[in-house]
Structure 1
Amino acid sequence: MIENLKEVTQDTVASEVLKLKNDGYRLVTMSCTELDADYVDILYHFDKDLKLANLRMKQPKDAKVPSISGILFAALLVENEMRDQFGLEFEGLILDFNRTLYLDEEITEVPMVSNVKIVKQ
């Protein structure tokens, strides 16, 4: 069980991240796991004075994820990694590596989710 966990949605994630930032929390990392054929679970991990705060968002695989890189610039690396590894699309991503942060061009399947093919843009 994750302590200090708050559930967020696509509509509330940015405002909750901004609240944590304004309260002095720093982004530690984000993590993602496949829940089923249609959804992934995205967790946002924050720290302030060795106290963790976590946000969880159940995300449809086929919907764009609101990027938090406009609020916390460092998030662009983890968001690009999730794009590479889970095939997620981020709306408003400040710097988009277009699935080339970790993946070579010849990779055609998303490594961390079931049956997702990479479509080059």
Structure 2
Amino acid sequence: MIENLTEVTPDTLASEVLKYKNQGYRLVGMTCTNKTEETVDLLYHLDRDLEMHTLRMEALRDAPVPSISGVYFCAMLPENEMRDQFALVFDGLVLDFNRTLLLDEEVTLEQVPLANNLKITKK
């Protein structure tokens, strides 16, 4: 079980992240994992004075995920990595590598490394 876990939705993510930033928390990492064929779990790990808080959001694979890179610019790296590895699309991503941060341009959606066993229908 994750201590200090707060469930968020795509609608509440930005306000929760901003609340933590205003309280002096830093973004220390983001985690993504496949949940079902249609959904992924996104975890946002925040720290202040060695006290870790995690925000958890279930997101639909076929819907754009809100980017938090407008609040924490450094989030653009893990968000681009998740775009490459899980075929997610982030709405409002401040710097979008268009699935070429880690992957070659020739890699198709059917070859996405961590989603290749799932049905990918996005274009």
Give TM-score scaled by structure 2 length.
Answer: 0.93
Aligned residues: 119
Q: After superposition, what is the alpha-carbon deviation per residue over 1:80-110, rounded to whole angstroms, capped at 9, x for unaligned?
A: 0000000000000000000000001221211
1:25–1:47: 8 Å Cα contact kept in structure 2?
A: yes
Percent of residue pairs identical: 62
Q: After superposition, what is the alpha-carbon deviation per residue over 1:2-37, rounded to whole angstroms, capped at 9, x for unaligned?
A: 110000000000000000000000000100000011
Unmatched tracts of structure 1, length 5 or more: none
Aligned-partner SS, 2:80: helix
Unmatched tracts of structure 2, length 5 or more: none
Aligned-partner SS, 1:79: helix
The offset of 1:116, in angstroms, is 2.7
1:110–1:117: 8 Å Cα contact kept in structure 2?
A: no
Aligned residue in 1 for 2:97: 97
2:62–2:122: 8 Å Cα contact kept in structure 1?
A: no
Aligned-partner Cα distance in 2 for 1:36–1:88: 14
